[in-house]
Chains A and B, each alone.
Chain A
Amino acid sequence: MMAPKAFAAAILLSLLAAAAPAKAQTPLTEGIQIGLSTDNVSITAGFSGADLTIFGSLENPDPLVARQGRYDVIVVLEGPPKPVVVRRKDRVLGVWVNLDSETFENVPMSYSVATTRPLQDITEPNSYKQLSLGASNLYMQPADAGDSPATIEEFTTALRERKAATGLYSENVGGVQFLSQNLFRATVRLAPNVPVGTHKARAFLFKSGLFIKESSAQLEIRKSGFEQSIFRVAHNYSFLYGVFAISLAMLTGWLGRLVFRKD
């Protein structure tokens, strides 16, 4: 495997040149902004996972709070939602067979989190639940709500566990770093099998454990020219694609015979 190549999807800062009304009487509410230099990332032939860098800034931060390090930022890159079937194998006559299954609607295909500190140090479990933030708090909506809560719980856990095992759900503690009082940089991981489609980057700002604000931006991850063309042709012109695949195989066989013939 190749070492993950850093994708520098760099800065588009809404820098705070304008936002310095220091003499205001009432403290202004803090805000958060993130920006991506590009709204699409291409997966090329050599793609084997990457780190995506997202820059962002705090608006109107309280210098005192900032100095004490009581601002926390969580950045999430959420893949396109799709329905997912989770199946469980059970033993039937000694053979392991897929038996029970549970379908979930709108499961983010990938979910990469970057945080300033470990999640449990930032805020209460309850506020994560309310925000549906973090892979283990993400609400998974079962397609058949009639199933027993225990079953749904079991399959939800399995879903999260499988997603984490394939690297699609990841957590990068310390992946968000403050470069100055207002400026931060987040590094989220793109797994080698990152799904293509519209991803949503979301940044959550916490102040002393309290959720303040959220900001989001969209990012298109797609296959680069060649890979994308093949995929598109395979789906839109599947018959021609099949004919092409067959011709390629026949040609390769014929050439192989010409090049290496022994009789």
Chain B
Amino acid sequence: MGIYLPIAEISVNVFVLLAMGAAVGFLSGMFGVGGGFLITPLLIFYNIPPAIAVATGANQVIASSVSGVLSHMKRGTLDFKLGGVLLAGGIIGSTAGIYVFAFLRRLGQLDLFISLLYVVLLGTVGGLMLVESINALRATRSGAAPVLKKSGQHNWIHRLPLKMRFRASKLFVSVIPVLGLGAGIGFLSSIMGVGGGFIMVPALIYLLKVPTNVVIGTSLFQIIFTSAYTTLVHATTNQTVDVVLAFILMAGGVAGAQYGAKAGQRLRGEQLRALLALLVLAVAIRLAIDLFVTPPNLYSLSALGLN
């Protein structure tokens, strides 16, 4: 069944979009990430203009994050104070990102920049995660006890000034790295249309040493607001949010997420991380191929942007 998207101004197949939303929802439910890093490239492969894919991706991420946060709120695995500080940084980063986005779009380099960011970030995160999870898998196979994080071990981040106490996370840390992390993720969120969960989660665990059970809820909590802000700013400055497209994706995603969560419970943590790492790397490689292989069309057209 074809449907005409009012903002993207093309006709697409509803079932393809629903399936896309459901598949990404399944994976996001399984791995506890928003799924923005999958949906935006998928939309671009499906010929949705990148600017619209990014803005609409941000909108879609809100839906999956809200349903995730609700369950974390119930379990009490959410640090509102930490989320709030991350959010403050996120707003600053998003604002900067939107301007860079509009600027690159005028230059005609937006697609390149988005692809490069995806390749570099997904490649790095996916690679690190794969190495870590394979080591963990080996360790469990050989029967060795899993290496626990040594509490009390501090890195340079913990020597910065302006310390603040985050009770729910049992953390006493400078606000500078927290704000910085929030800003960085906000920036990526507005340029890539991702919530940034796939960067936020490892950063909170490994850099700030936030307890793992609090990380996902808190990250999802701040992603709701960063994505909402990104959606709003894209809607007002670029008019690139397509609600029809976003809604179809959300509908598929919300359903898919539940089955994903169920499937995820059958797998062990390190197996899940290894699978997620492979997925992330696959997306990165697919995008990298596009950057390096001679494109079928050297020429591209774009309307002269007014914004």
Contacts and interface: CB of A to CB of B under 8 A. Distances in A.
Interface of A: 1-2, 43-49, 82-90, 94-98, 101, 103, 155, 158-159, 161-163, 165, 192-193, 195-196, 223, 226-228, 230-231, 234-235, 238-239, 241-246, 248-250, 252-257, 259-263
A250 B67 CA distance: 8
B236 interface: yes
A33 B223 CA distance: 60
Contacts of B6: 223, 226-228, 230-231, 234
Interface stretch (B80-88, B162-170, B186-194, B290-298): B290-298
Contact of A253 (B9, B66, B255, B261): B66
B236 A193 contact: no
B219 interface: no
Contacts of A159: 299, 301
Nearest to B233: A242
B67 A257 contact: yes
B258 interface: yes
Given A242-B232, A263-B74, A48 B2 contact: yes
B299 A87 contact: yes
Contacts of B294: 96
A249 B244 contact: no
A223 to B, nearest CB: 6
B70 interface: yes
A199 to B, nearest CB: 15
A175 B235 CA distance: 42
Given A1-B13, A101-B108, A239 B62 contact: no
B241 A234 contact: yes
B216 to A, nearest CB: 14
B236 A248 contact: no
A249 B60 contact: yes
Given A85-B108, A96-B291, A234-B239, A196 B13 contact: no
A263 B300 contact: no
B5 to A, nearest CB: 8
Interface string B90-129: 0000000000000000001101100010000000000000
A245 B234 CA distance: 11
B158 interface: no
Please give me the 9 A-B residue pairs with the lowest Cβ-Cβ distance, nearest first.
A253-B66, A256-B254, A242-B235, A249-B62, A158-B299, A260-B258, A242-B232, A253-B63, A257-B67
Given A44-B4, A253-B254, A89 B300 contact: yes
A246 B59 contact: yes
Interface of B: 1-4, 6-7, 9-11, 13, 59-60, 62-67, 70-71, 74-75, 108-109, 111-112, 116, 224, 228, 231-236, 239, 241, 243-244, 246-247, 250-251, 253-255, 257-258, 261-262, 291-292, 294-295, 297-304
Contacts, number: 195
Contact of A250 (B62, B236, B291): B62
Nearest to B244: A230
A252 B9 contact: no
A245 B63 CA distance: 10
A226 B255 CA distance: 26
A227 B299 CA distance: 30
B220 to A, nearest CB: 10
Nearest to B56: A245
A260 B254 contact: yes
Contact of B63 (A1, A238, A249): A249
B112 A98 contact: yes
Contact of A262 (B108, B261, B295): B261
Given A162-B297, A254-B70, 17 more contacts: A1-B13, A83-B303, A85-B108, A95-B116, A97-B112, A98-B112, A98-B300, A159-B299, A192-B10, A192-B11, A223-B6, A234-B235, A242-B233, A246-B232, A253-B254, A256-B63, A263-B75
